[in-house]
Every structure is written in C-alpha cells, then in structure tokens.
Amino acid sequence: MARFHELEVTDVRKTIRDAVVVTLKPVNGAAAEFEFTQGQYLTFRRDFDGEELRRSYSICAGKDEGVLQVGIKRVDGGAFSTWANADLKTGDRLEAMPPMGSFFTPLDAGSGKNYLGFAGGSGITPVLSILKTTLAAEPESSFTLVYANKGVNTIMFREELEDLKNLYMGRFNVIHILESDAQEIDLFTGLVTEEKCAQLFEHWIDIESTDTAFICGPEPMMLGIASALRNAGLDDAQIKFELFASAQPGRAKRKASSAEDSRAGNQAQMAITLDGATQTLEVSKDMTVLDAALGNAMDAPYACKAGVCSTCRCRVLEGEVEMVANHALEDYEVEKGYVLSCQAYPVTDNVVVDYDQ
C-alpha cells in the first residue's frame, strides 16, 4: 500500500508575515485518499540534507469547501516550517500521508448545539476547519471561538474570521485575546489562563449551555483551559484536545540492555501485522514497537515519534506493552487496546500487534 502520495501545490498565500496557507491538489488519481473530516491533519515528508523529516500540519479548510489547505506557521530555527514559508511555491510537489486524527465530533444537520473553541497561534488551523464545517452542516448550532495571539499582527486568518462572523451572524462569535496589544476590555489582554477562562465564563461565555469544547494551542494554555472547563462543569468527554508539540518527555529513555539482561529474558517475540501481512520478530524489550517494525523493513506509519500526533497508532491483540508517553490517544482508544507504537515497549514475552485495525 502506498502510504505517501504526491500532492501538487496550487497556491501559497501569506496569512500573516510568518505563516503561509498552502493549497494542495492530489495527483496520480489519489483524490479519494485525501477526503478528510474537519480537524484532521496531513503528515508530509521531505529530505533535508539527506535526512528524512516528517511533519504534520492540520487541514484548515472546511470539510465541504472542496479544497485541501494547510496553514504553516514558521517556527524560529524550525526546518520544515522555515522552508515552507521561505521556499515553497506554486507548482511544487509535496509527499503526504492521507488525512489522520480524531479531533472532531460527529455532526448532525438536525442538532442545535453550542460549541466552544479555544485556539492559540497556529492552533487555529484545525479549529477553523471544525467551526466552518460545523456552522455549514448544523444550521441550528452556534460556535464561540476564543483565539489567543501575541498581537494583532500575528492573528492568522483574521479577515476570514471576520467574513465568517458576517456570514453566520448571531451563530458565530470570536473573542480575540491578545498577549501584548491593549484592548478596550481589560479581560481580553494577556495570556489565556485558567483564571481568565473562569472570568470569561462568568461574563462572556454561556458555559452551562456548552455541549463540546475544542482546544488547540500551547500545552500550558491547553491545560489551564481544560481545568477551567472541568471546574465549570464540563466532563472529559465534552473536551477535545489537539496538541502540536509537548514539553513533557513522558519518561526517560530506557537504558540499552546489557548482555546479562538479554540472558535474563530481555527479548520478546512480536508478531506485527501491517497492510495485511504479518511478520514475527525477535526483539529487545528496550525497543519500541515502531522501531521493531521499521528495523525489519516494515513501512509502519509515523510522524512525530514523540507521542503527540497518533500517526503510529496500532492495536495490541495479545500480550502487554508499556506506553511511556501518550499525548494523543483518548481513554476510550486505550481501553480498546490502541497504543502509540513509537512510545510502546513490550512487557510480556509474546506480543501481537496490528496496524490495520
């Protein structure tokens, strides 16, 4: 199965000084592979000085807009994002995996729900896709967006959000919170903290009637918002997260095993199913499931290798593995036996995993 497909860049547009919106068209008959659900992301791969880098970028278009677009914000010193902002141009080709991710809830034209979105900086991309899709698909629903940025000049999609306010008058509301630019209302200046959220819920947002909240932004901001939402009465099933990077390493890397460890049973037998074929391998328990697969020439999917994106998800059918970091899978997925293979080490002597489920 071809995991990566070629996409042609049909437009590159600056949305602010250091972020571009890239429009893509699947080529070689791969269009059906790139049908997406709001809030999903694409994983690109590109060689930089002989080393393959994989980076994920969320789709910022609505599901039914008929266009495939991602927004890439330049990170200081960042390889892929700097290249995309400086050198990517119309006519170039990129390689990407089909859309992935579960940062969405099912929509129903008949429901009238109240959604709340929190986005920080480039975290707007999946939230924009979600809010555009939701407002178009559920005519009785409303959406409030709290959007945090450093200043006015760093607000991605500012004009598009204003246009959406006019299009969905009375159903869509944006509250801009700016870290350094003073605003008429004091509450709208500074960082989005747990305390600020509590104040927003008191005066500006009807939290009691909120059905679902979506959060995407820097990790400390996300944790503060989630805590405020829980204090305001939302349960975990009503709060959806998407993390772009984590400062928390999970757990220290395991030490390489000594010869003695190996003799003491540090080896496991692992059966890995991928694209319909199963390989049985003898692996060290100090090796992740993903590394075991890649090391045996299996083309297992991955992107961040940091437990953040969920591209490497597989299901444990037999035996036990230990996941040392998980910033991507929800509790119900873990209960069903799904793990992030880049973070999962075999614990039992026999382990059976499946990437196809």
Ligand X SMILES: Cc1cc2nc3c(=O)[nH]c(=O)nc-3n(C[C@H](O)[C@H](O)[C@H](O)COP(=O)(O)OP(=O)(O)OC[C@H]3O[C@@H](n4cnc5c(N)ncnc54)[C@H](O)[C@@H]3O)c2cc1C
**What residues line the site for ligand X (CB under 6 A)?**
41, 55-58, 70-73, 75-82, 122, 125, 244-245, 304, 308-309
Nearer to ligand X, 48 or 112 (CB): 48
The strand ranges marked E within the chain are: 5-16, 19-26, 41-48, 51-58, 68-73, 93-100, 114-120, 142-149, 172-178, 212-216, 239-242, 267-274, 277-284, 313-318, 321-323, 338-340, 344-346, 350-354
**Cβ pair 216, 120 in contact under 8 A:** yes
- Residue 159 binding: pick among ligand FES, ligand X, none (C-beta 5-8 Å cut-off by kind): none
Looking only at the bridges linking them, the beta strands covering 93-100 and 5-16 are antiparallel
DSSP codes, 139-199: TT-EEEEEEEESSGGG-TTHHHHHHHHHHTTTTEEEEEEESSS--SSGGGBS---HHHHHH
* CB 309, min distance to ligand X, A: 4
Nearer to ligand X, 41 or 302 (CB): 41
| Comparison of 273 and 311: residue with beta carbon closer to ligand X | 311
Minimal distance in Å, beta carbon 306 to ligand X? 8
Q: Of ligand X, ligand FES, none, which one sits near residue 302, judging by CB under 5 to 8 A according to partner kind?
A: ligand FES
- CB of 77 or CB of 265, closer to ligand X: 77
Q: Which residues bind ligand FES (CB under 6 A)?
A: 302-305, 307-312, 328, 340, 342
What's the closest the beta carbon of residue 3 comes to ligand FES, in angstroms? 13
Query: How many CB atoms lie under 10 A from the CB of residue 100?
Result: 18
Nearer to ligand FES, 149 or 310 (CB): 310
Per partner kind, with CB cut-offs from 5 to 8 A, the member of ligand FES, ligand X, none near residue 78 is ligand X
